[in-house]
Each structure stands twice: as structure tokens, then as C-alpha cells.
Amino acid sequence: MEPIELDRGAGVPAHAQIERWLLDSIAAGEMAPGDRLPGERELAARLGVSRMTLRQALDSLERRGVLVRLPGRAGGAFVAEPRVECDLTGLAGFTEQMRRAHRKAEARVVTAATMPAPAPVARALGLEPRSQVHEIVRVRSAGAGPVALERSFFPASRFPDLLEQDLLGSLYALLEIRYGMPPRTAHEHLEPVVAGPAEAAELEIEPGSPLMLIERTAFAASGVPVEFARDLFRPDRVRISVRSSVSQ
């Protein structure tokens, strides 16, 4: 990785030029995920800038999830695994999203139990208060550690033996194949939150780390609610996108 010759008269700050150079180097395959950048002192000297200027570029790339910086003698700045693109435009579950991204979706069931529906869940699913629902909590991965913590609720009356099925694959495919009620539409809300101790432990991050919450109510083709979910995504591993068009 050859350092660039900074253009001091371009009107573009040096840290922005360094940031673009590093992004281009990663895109060109000159640095791969897991590769360690030279130390700050060495890299700043090679670029002819102060360590403060270099840190501006590194800080920006870390915030964007391009770099991971680790403390300690064995630490430094490393090229991060590329984030997985999750498109919310269509109603595709995690398994399908990972297939589109050419990743293998994996699941670990944390809990699976039948319980009286909490009030918000009953309202979302159009159930009487305290009706029975199946709660399934799973950690989802895509080959590079945990990506998301899914918490889904399904009406027990509509899917009576759901918890007896294989819960490691696509639950949406299971709803279609076994029950003939796949989700066709959904109302979704996105909200930035921070990880509590329990979520942080499951997602292998520090408590207080930022997460993206996607709250979803999914409906069958008939309009019947079939799922209420609260999914927590690691923004350093996933990028959420939505496509839109102008109504005619």
C-alpha cells in the first residue's frame, strides 16, 4: 500500500484526502478485512502529516464501520469486515437477506416458549389481552460473529405446534410451508437504541453500544397479523437500506 502524495492546494482537507485514499485502497483489494494498518506514528510520517490529522481520518472511518481500532500492544487499526446490506423495501427475512448478500445465515435459539402476550404484543397481533403467543429469541450470524438479536412473537392459536419445528432456519419459510400463512406485508419502525447488559452479552459488544431497533408487525395476504418482532442489529455489521420512488 503506497501512500498518496497529498495535494496541499486542492482545497480538500488533508484528513479527507487520507480517508478517500484508504477507502480506495480497500475497494481495490490492496487491504483485506483483518489487515492491520501501519502504526499511527509510522503512517503519519509516511504521509507527511501530524498524528492529529491522521487520527481525524481514522476516527471518521471507524465511525463508518470501515476500520476497527483495538487498544493494547497487539492492537491498532484493522480493516473491518464489510457490512451486510439489508434492504427493507421488500419483506425478506434475515435468511433471505443473507442469501442475497452471498452470506450463510446462522441462528442460535436463546429462548423459545409459549406465554401470555404482553399488552403491546397483543395489540399488535390483534389478540385479546393475555392470549397465548410463542416467543422465539434468536441470535443471527453471518459468518463473522453475531449480527442481530431477533425477538419474535407468533399467535399460538394460528401456529399451535410452532415450537416443535426446526427453529434454526427461516421462520418465514416455515410459516409458508407448514401453515400456508407467509408474511406478505409489514409495518416497520426504525429507532436507534443502546445495548443493555443482556443484549450486549448476546451480541458480543459492550453495554451502551449503539444498536438499530427494527420493530415490525407482519401480515398474511388476508391482512391477519402473523408476527410481531423487535430485532436489534449491530450497525457496525449491517447497513439498512430502503428504496423509494415517486408516486405517479
Cβ pair 76, 68 in contact under 8 A: no
**Which CATH number applies to 14-79?**
1.10.10.10
Boundaries of CATH 3.40.1410.10 in the chain? 84-241
Give me 49's grid cell.
502529516
Q: How far is CA 169 from the centre of its chain?
A: 18
CA distance 20 to 56: 12
Q: Is the pLDDT of residue 56 over 80?
A: yes
CB atoms within 10 A of CB 231: 20
State the DSSP string of 116-169. Answer: EPPHHHHHHHT--TT-EEEEEEEEEE-SSSEEEEEEEEEETTTSTTGGGS--SS
Q: What mean pLDDT do residues 145-171 have?
A: 94
pTM: 0.70
Q: Which CATH number fits domain 84-241: 3.30.565.10, 3.40.1410.10, 3.40.50.10540, 1.10.10.10?
A: 3.40.1410.10
Can you give the pLDDT at residue 138? Answer: 96
More confident residue, 80 or 162: 162
Boundaries of CATH 1.10.10.10 in the chain? 14-79
Q: Is the pLDDT of residue 101 over 70?
A: no
Residues 59-100 pLDDT 10s: 998 887 788 888 877 788 998 877 777 766 666 666 667 666
Q: Is the pLDDT of residue 219 over 90?
A: yes
Give me 184's grid cell.
406478505
